[in-house]
Amino acid sequence: MLSKHTKEGRNQIEMVALDELVPEDHLVRKVEQAIDFEFIYDLVEDKYCLDNGRPGIDPVVLIKMVFTQYLFGIRSMRQTIKEIETNVAYRWFIGYSFKEKIPHFSTFGKNYARRFHDTDLFEQIFYRILKEAMTKGLVDPSVVKANANKKKFEKKIARVETRTYQAQLDEEINIDREEHGKKPFPPQNKEESKEIKVSTTDPESGYYVKDEREKLFAYSFHTASDSRGFILGSLVTGGNVHDSRMLDKLVTQVTDKVGKPSSVAVDAGYKTPHIAKFLMDQEIRPVMPYTRPRTKDGYLKKYEYVYDEYFDSYLCPEGQILPYRTTTRDGYKQYASNPLECTDCPLLERCTQSKNHTKMIHRHVWQDYIDEVDHLRHTELNKTLYAKRKETIERVFADAKEKHGMRWTTLRGLKKVSMQAMLTFAAMNLKKLANWTWRGPCPA
pLDDT at 163 over 80: no
Residue 155, beta-bridge partner list: 197
Contact status, residue 77 vs residue 112, Cβ threshold 8 Å: no
Weakest mean pLDDT among 52-61, 210-219, 266-275, 379-388: 210-219
Distance, CA of 287 to CA of 289 (rounded, Å) = 7
pLDDT for 241 equals: 85
Please tell me the pTM assigned to this model.
0.82
Helix (H, G, I), strand (E, B) or coil at 215: strand
Are 35 and 132 in contact by the 8 Å Cβ rule? The answer is yes
Alpha-carbon distance of 357 to 350, in angstroms, equals: 11
Residue 274: is its pLDDT beyond 90?
Answer: yes
The band of 91, judged by pLDDT with boundaries at 50, 70 and 90, is very high
| Contact indicator for 71, 405 with CB cutoff of 8 Å | no
Would you say residue 25 has pLDDT above 70? yes
The DSSP-derived string for 40-64 is HHHHHGGGS-SSSSS----HHHHHH
* pLDDT beyond 90 at 139: no
Strands 306-308 and 313-315: antiparallel
Give just the sign of the alpha carbon dihedral 256, 262, 268, 274. Answer: positive
- Angle (CA) 99-104-110 rounded to 5° is 145
Q: Which residues contact 256 (CB under 8 A, 6 or more apart)?
A: none
Q: Is the pLDDT of residue 302 over 60?
A: yes
- pLDDT band at residue 90 under the 50/70/90 scheme: very high
| Strand ranges in 136-200 using DSSP code E only, listed in sequence order | 143-145, 153-159, 193-199
- The answer on pLDDT for 197 being more than 90 is no
Report the 10 Å Cβ neighbour count for 266: 23
The share of the chain scoring above pLDDT 70, in percent, equals: 92
pLDDT class of 144 with cuts at 50, 70, 90:
low
pLDDT recorded at residue 140? 45
Write down the pLDDT at residue 246: 86
Cβ atoms 368, 377 nearer than 8 A: no
Q: How far is 247 from 232, CA to CA, in rounded Å?
A: 13
Does the pLDDT at position 443 exceed 60? no
Contact (Cβ atoms closer than 8 angstroms) between residue 254 and residue 282 = no
What is the rounded average pLDDT of the residues 424-429? Answer: 92
The per-residue pLDDT for 160 is: 54
- Give the pLDDT confidence of 339-378 residue by residue, as tens digits: 888 888 898 888 988 888 899 999 999 999 999 999 999 9
Residue 308: predicted pLDDT: 93
Mean pLDDT of 256-272: 88
pLDDT at 158: 57
Q: Answer yes or no: is pLDDT of 297 > 50.
A: yes
| pLDDT higher than threshold 80 for residue 331 | yes
